[in-house]
Amino acid sequence: MTDTGIDRDAEGLRDRIAAELARTRARTVLLTEAVDDADLVRQHSPLMSPLVWDLAHVGNQEELWLVRDVGGREPVRCDIDDLYDAFKQPRRDRPSLPLLPPPEARAYVATVREKVYDLLDGVTFDGGKLVADGFAFGMIVQHEQQHDETMLATHQLRSGPAALHAPPPPEPTVRVPAEVLVPAGPFTMGTDTDPWALDNERPAHRVDLPAYVIDAAPVTNGAYRAFIADGGYDDPRWWTEAGWQHRRQAGLTAPMHWQRDGDGWSYLRFGTWSRVRDDEPVVHVCFHEAQAYATWASKRLPTEAEWEKAARWDPATGRSRRYPWGDGDPTPIQANLGQRHLSPAPVGAYPAGASPLGVHQLIGDVWEWTATPFRGYPGFAAFPYREYSEVFFGDDHQVLRGGSFGTDQAACRGTFRNWDYPIRRQIFSGFRCARDARPDEAHR
């Protein structure tokens, strides 16, 4: 066979897919082998699945989409499809299901992966939209990485000694300003060109925004402690009606995992207590807490469009970048991603990752709540199935942006959209604030 540019491109894509599959599976193995089998089958919170369910679920999704759909091959285990269907099995009920025990789950996902590698050797990428640019493989990589972050959140909820270890994030190297002005004007939101972008990130569309001011960094523990000290959790003026009702019902008095420690606070991270560090972004707060803080600070949460313009828009060219720093994939000097560290990095630790406007730490560290409910963009089309995004559209879920220290780069970019219920805070969630620009600021 004659070697052509197309052949070389296909071979390069196969190599990339194989590397991403292997890198992702190594993380899954780390998260599931860090504890014993008794811990794998235990439910650490009714909000989360037993780790062994997540393990078999990622294998089942890989089998459904790649082995059966793309490869057209015989099922490996069609008898377990219902057990690992996230829509049929609520998280709170999963421990009572006849789940695959850990040795069987490991064997199952290994068998599925062997079949995927085999079909990858012969697949062509011109057989329709599902396989174009390796999309189906990229979707499975992102799905597994998303469950890896979910499993990391489950580890945070575990009782007992630490099972995961990582070096601390880098120290700050720059002083970050308090706020940044984003000038009025249009920008391109979403994408038509990122080959592994998911349906809710599409299509690209023009959004015209008035001038606004956004925090140059996520809200820190120190700033949030001031809100607590000023009685923020006891004053209904700062809370919406729904937020105040939830605060009272849930008994919220501080971010999740915080505890009073003398005249200050300590937090529990992956089995280890330490003093709250003031210059780190606050994490494990729900949407209602973020909204209350913003109101107390005489600000508001940014809309999703405001967040994305601050993260992607380049005033020098007028175009939207893939990431704040450009179109290149994240490196360890640009963002705190991929579980390299087990906490947010202090503000000022990633100057190389700042946007052209000077907004810092938009990617990684903490998922950032926005003021926008999760909906499809104009012209949205569900692909490859409605249950990925469309069934979640509406007022019940708020959009989060930017990824966290537990998010992998494969599942994070400037257009990536996450969503959750506004009461959730077991996720690695924080926020930054925004406000309308004053007339004297808007016309600078």
Cα separation, 177 vs 358, in Å, equals 9
Question: Cα separations (Å) of 43 from 171, 172, 369, 413?
Answer: 35, 37, 27, 31
Whether the bond between 439 and the residue before it is cis, its omega within 30 degrees of 0, is no
Taking residues 206-234, what's their average pLDDT? 98
DSSP for residue 124: -
Cα separation, 60 vs 367, in Å, equals 27
Q: Nearest-CA neighbor of 242 among 432, 423, 428, 427?
A: 423
DSSP for residue 332: T
Give 288-323 pLDDT, tens digit per residue. Answer: 999 999 999 999 999 999 999 999 999 999 999 999
Binding-site sequence positions for gamma-L-glutamyl-L-cysteine? 91-94, 420, 424
Taking residues 263-277, what's their average pLDDT? 96
Taking the whole predicted model, whether its pTM rises above 0.85 is answered as yes
Q: Is the pLDDT of residue 60 over 90?
A: yes
Cα separation, 182 vs 255, in Å, equals 30
Q: Nearest-CA neighbor of 51 among 95, 83, 88?
A: 95
Sketch the domain layout of the chain as residue ranges: 5-157, 179-218+298-442
Quote the Cα angle for 103-107-111, to 5°. 175
- The 10 Å Cβ neighbour count of residue 318 is 11
Query: What confidence score (pLDDT) does residue 126 get?
Result: 86
Q: Which of 28-37, 123-132, 194-203 is least confident?
A: 123-132
Binding-site sequence positions? 57, 91-94, 143, 147, 420, 424
Quote the Cα angle for 438-441-444, to 5°. 150
Give 119-171 pLDDT, tens digit per residue. Answer: 999 998 987 899 999 999 999 999 999 999 999 999 999 998 899 999 999 99
Which secondary-structure segment (H or E) carries 268?
A: strand 264-269
Query: What confidence score (pLDDT) does residue 442 get?
Result: 76
Which secondary-structure segment (H or E) carries 157?
A: helix 135-157
Q: Is the pLDDT of residue 384 over 50?
A: yes
Sign of CA dihedral 311, 313, 316, 319: positive
Query: What confidence score (pLDDT) does residue 8 get?
Result: 73
Quickly name the fold that domain 5-157 has: Four Helix Bundle (Hemerythrin (Met), subunit A) (1.20.120)
Q: Nearest-CA neighbor of 270 among 280, 260, 281, 284?
A: 284
Query: What confidence score (pLDDT) does residue 77 get?
Result: 95
Which secondary-structure segment (H or E) carries 430?
A: strand 429-430
Query: What confidence score (pLDDT) does residue 1 get?
Result: 38
Binding-site sequence positions for Fe cation? 57, 143, 147
What mean pLDDT value characterizes the chain?
96
Q: Is the pLDDT of residue 5 over 70?
A: no
Query: What confidence score (pLDDT) does residue 43 get?
Result: 95
- The 10 Å Cβ neighbour count of residue 16 is 13
- Token pair for 147: 């469950």
Give 394-442 pLDDT, tens digit per residue. Answer: 999 999 999 999 999 999 999 999 999 999 999 999 999 999 999 988 7
Which secondary-structure segment (H or E) carries 264?
A: strand 264-269
User: For the stretch 216-236, what's the b/e string if a residue is b when 16 or more beta carbons lie within 10 angstroms of its beta carbon?
Assistant: bbbbbbebbbebbeeebbeee
Which secondary-structure segment (H or E) carries 91?
A: none
What's the CATH class of domain 179-218+298-442?
alpha beta
First CA to last CA distance, the chain? 62
- Token pair for 327: 């179109």
Query: What confidence score (pLDDT) does residue 2 get?
Result: 45
Taking residues 338-352, what's their average pLDDT? 98
DSSP for residue 104: H
- Token pair for 113: 């992966």
Q: How many residues does the chain have?
A: 444
Contact 219, 232 (CB under 8 A): no
Query: What confidence score (pLDDT) does residue 6 get?
Result: 56
When pLDDT is cut at 50, 70 and 90, the band that residue 3 belongs to is low
When pLDDT is cut at 50, 70 and 90, the band that residue 443 belongs to is confident
